[in-house]
Chains A and B, each alone.
Chain A
Amino acid sequence: MKKPVLFLLAAVFLLPLVVRPAIASEIWIFAIFGLGANLLMGYTGLLSFGQSTFFGSAAYVAGWLMKVQGVNAFLALAAGIGVGAASAAVVGYLCVQRSGLYFIMLTFALNQLFYFTAYQWTSITGGEDGMPGVPRPEFFGVDFKDPVIYYALVSGLFLLSLYLMKRIVESPLGKILQAIRENEVRAEAVGYAVPRFKLLAFVIGGAFSGLAGVLYAMLFGIVPLESISFVFSGNVIFATLIGGSGSLYGPVIGSFVFIWLSESMSTVWARWPLLLGVAFVLVVMFLRGGLVEAWTRFWTWRSSKLKT
C-alpha cells in the first residue's frame, strides 16, 4: 500500500480517539462534500458557488423521507444521492453555457433560489428553525444511534467516496475534465462536447454533495437552514482551497483543518465567523495554493538544502 493510503487509514482509526466522534464524523462528511466540490473546482475548473444547493436539498428530502415516511437509512442515502445529482443536473444545465464571473454569479443566484424556497416553505422545512427530528433509522439490526457505530458508517462511506473519486479523476473522463480546465477551446476542438462533460461533472459532484448532506442531517438529527445557504457553499470552497484544489487529498486535508478550526473557534467566541473571514483573507494573501502546495514547497526546499 502506498503512503497516503496508510496515512489515511491511520487517520480514520485515530481521529475518534482525539476528538469527539461527532466532530470526527463531521470532518469526513465535510470531506465528502469537498470531494464533490473539488471535482468541479479543482478538476474541471468550474468555480461553483452553489454547492450547498445540492447538499441542502438532499438533506431536506432525505430528512423528510426518514422523518415522515420512515424509510430506512440506506434508502434515504440513496435518495439523497439521487436528489443531489438531480438538483445538480438542473443547476448545471442552466449554468454550463456561461463561464467566468457569469458562471459564479449564476450558481450563487440559484443557490439563493433554493435557499429562499427552503426559507419560505415552513410547513416542511421549518424555515429559519430548520427541520428537527431527523432520525438515524436502524438497518439490518445495526443501531446507528451509537455515535461510534455511526462514525464507522461515515468513515466507511468516506473511504468509499475517496476511492470512487480517485477512480473518476484517473479515468478518461477525469482526464477530459482536466483538459477542459486547462484549455476549454482546445478540448472542444479535439472533439469533446464540453458542455455535456461539464454537466456530467456537476451531476457527479452533486451526488457526492447529496451523500454528504444526508449524512450531515443524520449526524445532527436536524437539517439547519444554513445547510442550504451560500455561506455553506463558501465554506466548502474555502476548505477545498486551503487544502489545495485540484489534488485528490486537498479537500480531505482542507475539511480537517476547516472543521477543526471552526469547532475550536466557535467554542471561544460567538462571533467566530469574523475570525473565519480574517482566516479567508489571510489565506488568500499569503497561502495561495493551499496546504498541499505549502507542504510540497517545504519538502522541495528542504531537499534542496540537504543536497548542498
Chain B
Amino acid sequence: MLYALMGLGLSLVTGILNIPNFAHGALFAVGAYLLATVAVALGNFWLALLIAPLGVALLGLAIEYAGIRRLYAAGHDYQLLFTFGLALILSESIILIWGPIGSSYLPPEILRGGMDLGFTMYPKYRLFVMVAAGLLIFATWLFLEKTRYGAIMRAGIENKEMVSLLGIDIRMMFTVAFAMGAYLAGIAGALTAPIRGLNPGMGPDMLGIAFVVVALGGLGNLLGAIAAGLIIGVAQALVAAYWTEASTVVIYAVMAVILLVRPQGLFGIR
C-alpha cells in the first residue's frame, strides 16, 4: 500500500512534469522525520500526521517554484542532476539535523499491539496504515477522476500543449502536481516512521522502489502505479517470508522479468 502511495506520487510528477524526480525518496524521508519531530514536540500523533506531509508539500512547492520551474526547457540530464543534487542536499541535511544514527518512533497508544482478525493476529498499526493509505489513494483517484482540476491534470499528462492552448495556466498546474507528489511522498514517509523507524538511508531505498513501481505501472498511468505498487508489495512480503535476504533484490528482479515480457510496463501504453 505504501509502495502504491509512493508510486502514485512519483507517477504524477513524472507524468505531468516529465522530469525524473530523484528527490522523491528524500521527500519521503523528510516526511518521516518531520512526523517524529512534530509528534514528539506536540505530543500528538494525529496532529503530526496532518502537519508533517503538509510541510513536505510546502517544501515541494518551494522546490518547484525556485528551481524545477526553470528547467522544463532543459534536457533530462540537467533535470536529473538538479533533483539528484536536491536529494543529496536533503538527505545530508537530515543527517545534520537529526544525526546519522537511525531512531525508532512508536505508534500512538491505541494503535499498539495486535488485533485478532479471526484467522490471524495482525499489528493494529499496520492495519491502520493499510486503511489510511487506501483512503488516500481513493481520495487521489476521486480528485483526478471526478473533479474538474483532476480532469485538467489528466489532460496535462496526455497533451500539455493542447491544455495550455485552452487557456489553462499550465505552470500553475505543474506546481500543484509537484506539491501533490511531494505530499504523497511525505505522508507515505510519515506513515512508515512508526513501522520501520527512522534512518537517513530510507530515502534512497524507497526511491528505487518508487521508480520500479512507476516503470511497471506505466509512466503517467496512475491506476497502473497503484496496481504495480500492490504487486511489488505482495511479492516482497512473500519472498521475505521464505528468504529474507533476497527480499530487496526480488522487487528489481520482478521488474526485470516483467519488462522482458512487457517492455511498456504492465499497463503502459507509451
| A residues with CB within 8 A of B | 41, 47, 49, 94, 97-98, 100-102, 104-106, 108-110, 112-113, 116-117, 119-120, 230-231, 234, 237-238, 241, 245, 271, 273-274, 276-281, 283-285, 288
Contacts and interface: CB of A to CB of B under 8 A. Distances in A.
A102 B80 contact: no
Contacts of A94: 256, 259-260
Interface residues of B, number: 48
Interface string B234-270: 0000000000011011001101100110010000001
Nearest to B76: A47
A288 B82 CA distance: 11
Interface stretch (B41-49, B105-113, B142-150, B212-220): B212-220
A101 B80 CA distance: 10
Contact of A276 (B70, B79, B88, B246): B88
Interface string B40-82: 0000000000000000000000000001001100111111111
A113 B70 CA distance: 33
A274 B92 contact: yes
Contacts of A284: 71, 74, 78-79, 81-82, 85
B255 A109 contact: yes
B85 A113 contact: no
B93 interface: yes
Contacts of A97: 263
Contact of A106 (B22, B67, B259): B259
B195 interface: no
Contacts of A283: 81
A100 B22 CA distance: 15
Contacts of B246: 120
Given A110-B256, A281-B82, A271 B20 contact: no
20 contacts: A47-B77, A97-B263, A101-B14, A102-B270, A112-B211, A113-B256, A234-B84, A237-B84, A241-B81, A273-B88, A274-B88, A277-B85, A277-B90, A277-B92, A281-B67, A283-B81, A284-B71, A284-B78, A285-B67, A285-B70
A49 B20 CA distance: 11
A113 B67 contact: no
Contact of B20 (A101, A110, A231, A288): A101
Given A105-B20, A105-B211, A120 B245 contact: yes
A288 B74 contact: yes
Contacts of B259: 94, 106
A134 to B, nearest CB: 24
Contact of A101 (B76, B78, B245, B253): B76
B77 A237 contact: yes
B81 A105 contact: no
B18 A101 contact: yes
Contacts of B36: none
Contacts of A241: 77-78, 81
A120 B77 contact: no
Contact of A112 (B18, B77, B208): B208
B86 A277 contact: yes
A277 B78 contact: no
Interface string B5-38: 0000000001000111010000000000000000
A106 B264 CA distance: 11
Nearest to B75: A47
A119 B249 CA distance: 9
Interface in B165-212: 204, 208, 211-212
Contact of A41 (B19, B77, B87, B95): B77
Contacts of B255: 109, 113
